Amino acid sequence: MSEEAPDSGSEYERERVPDRALKGPSAFWGMYAGEHTAGTEFMIGPLFVSWGASASSLIFGLLIGNLLAVLTWRFLTATIATQQRLTLYFKMEKIAGKHLVKIYNLANGILFCFLAGSMITVSATAVGPFFPTMKMPTFESTMPTGPGWIMACVVIGVAMTLVAMKGYGVVAKVGHYAAPWMFLVFIACALVTLGRLDNYNLWELLSPPPGTPEQISFLGIVFFSWFCNAAMHIGMADLSVLRFAKSPNAGYASAAGMFLGHYIAWICAALLLVYWVRVHGVDPSTGKDPGTMVNDAVGWTGLICVIIAGWTTANPTIYRAGLAFQGIAPSMPRNVSTMIAGAVCIAAGIFPAFAMNLLGFVGIYGTILAPIGAIIVVDHFFAKSLGIPSDPAEQSGTSFNFTVLLAWLIPVGVAMYLYRFHDVFASYLPLPTSIACGLLYVVLSKSIGPKLAIPSSR
């Protein structure tokens, strides 16, 4: 999965991107491939094994889910992005008002911190092989495993935060250079595992042992892979990137990230745990930390890969969380806001609960942020035909559109209730929550929304 697409330059943030600044498709293919081969992929593949996912779920479920994600990027996000050519924030400001955007920023910033915290956790597991006495977290760990673990997370987190405070240009470059190499390291881990098990039957290897409880179904895998980046596609965060695309076909570039990172890399990472379960007798529900598994398979190269994969994705996330916090208090220097974000990330990273519950967390992340995208979809495609104003906050001059707030929070509140008290798998929630949000926005706009002129043409 990914933290967020990179900043496409701090340009045209409050205006349409002009034609001269548009980019061809090649810029997007490389970006998506790099962004979605992250440190967290080392967690997600083994977590599927831990949850007893079947071979058919992994091979076909991921295929279908990722395909749906690519189509969502192409036909929803990229279509709106290339027609509006505005950032998510500027478009939201036009619909919701600048003060409501601050609430979104706060939610975004906090969730970014937890995501970056997970990446710190993954990177810190690479320290384990150098300190054999240090107890590494397992899938069941929620609390820090000891002073050594806390120290590892703090050192890595502080280093990441210091770099993020300087901007993330250098780290973004390292991430770009590392992308093809990192992908090959994932493949290498799988090849080594196949060789060690002397079994090339992927179907058989990915099938859980008889009696393993299946905690994630075929549909669960489809929805997880479709919505693990819900905030980016249906949530429209990638408007900020794809607004630079010459054609909406740039949305197809997300296939590079989905099928290399969220398909091949996840399956390769899953095989690592399969080996540890079959050969070392590790309990799949307990799992094994990525650092130990990768070091065992491909040595120091794997440890470097775990650190770089975590680092290059955590850094922009910390940077963006800092920007989100700065958006709430514009007078705060960016270094201070990044430092605050870094401190929250480190605190989250120390507690393995977030990384070890990544399958649930990314669903929550999408459920909270994606519904805002539904409001943009309604505003862009249906406002005129439904007789509701487009860009209502801009038209009325309001800085806080309560219609948007209610349409966003009511379905999210219901979704959180279902997640918390009825154990609904979090990845099932972003789609119905977003649809409910869009419908509620239409109803509320017609009933209590600002009465404005309906544009005769877009």
Partner 1 sequence: MIKKIARPIGYLALLGTILPPLLFMFHTIELAPMQGTMFVSCIAWFVAAPLWMKTE
> Between 184 and 454, whose beta carbon lies closer to partner 1?
184
1 versus 189: smaller Cβ distance to partner 1: 189
**Full DSSP string of 294-352:** HHHHHTHHHHHHHHHHHHHHHHHHHHHHHHHHHHHSTTS-HHHHHHHHHHHHHHHHHST
Q: Smaller CB distance to partner 1: residue 300 or 417?
A: 300
> C-beta of 180: minimal distance to partner 1 in Å?
6
Tokens of 37: 């081969």
Specify the residue, 180 or 455, whose C-beta has the smaller distance to partner 1: 180
Q: What SS3 state is found at 214?
A: coil
Instruction: Return the closest-CA partner of residue 426 out of 352, 366, 351.
Output: 366
Say how far apart CA 258 and CA 264 lie, in whole Å: 9
For residues 47 and 307, which CB has a smaller minimum distance to partner 1 in the complex?
Answer: 307
Contact of 288 with 46, CB cutoff 8 Å: yes
Residue 392: CB minimum distance to partner 1, A: 37
Residue 53 and residue 214 in contact, taking contact as beta carbons nearer than 8 Å: yes
61 vs 261, beta carbon nearer partner 1: 261
Least gap, CB of 335 to partner 1 (angstroms): 25
* Amino acid letter, 175: G
Q: How far is the CB of 23 from partner 1 (least distance, A)?
A: 8
Distance in Å, CB of 81 to partner 1, minimum: 18
Q: How far is the CB of 168 from partner 1 (least distance, A)?
A: 13
Q: How far, in Å, CA of 435 to CA of 410, rounded?
A: 12
Cβ neighbours for 447, distance < 8 A, ≥ 6 positions apart: none
Q: Are 18 and 172 in contact (CB under 8 A)?
A: no
Q: Give the CA count within 13 Å in the CB-facing half-sphere of 97.
A: 17
Q: Which residue has the tokens 């119905």?
A: 432
Give the nearest distance from C-beta 44 to partner 1 in angstroms.
21
For the bound state, the minimum distance from the C-beta of residue 259 to partner 1, rounded and expressed in Å, comes to 18
In 3D, which of 186, 139, 167, 189 has the Cα closest to residue 308? 186
- Give 47 or 179: the residue with its C-beta nearer to partner 1: 179
In whole angstroms, the minimum distance from the beta carbon of 190 to partner 1 comes to: 8
* CA–CA distance, 403 with 444 (Å, rounded to integer): 6
Q: How many CB atoms lie within 10 A of CB 342?
A: 28
How far CA 441 is from CA of 384, 392, 411, in Å, comes to 14, 12, 11
Q: Which residues bind partner 1 (CB under 8 A)?
A: 23, 26-27, 30, 172-173, 176-178, 180-181, 184-185, 187-189, 191-192, 194-195, 198, 200, 298-301, 304
Write down the number of H helices and E strands in the chain: 24, 0
- Cα three-residue angle 364-365-369, rounded to 5 degrees: 115
Cα–Cα distance measured from residue 271 to residue 280, given in angstroms and rounded to the nearest whole number: 13
Question: Residue 207 or 301: which CB sits closer to partner 1?
Answer: 301
Q: Which is nearer to partner 1, 188 or 405 (CB)?
A: 188
Name the residue nearer to partner 1 (CB basis): 165 or 271. Answer: 271
Q: Decide whether 177 or 417 has the Cβ nearer to partner 1.
A: 177
C-alpha separations of 272 from 41, 76, 183, 196, 284 in Å: 12, 36, 15, 11, 11
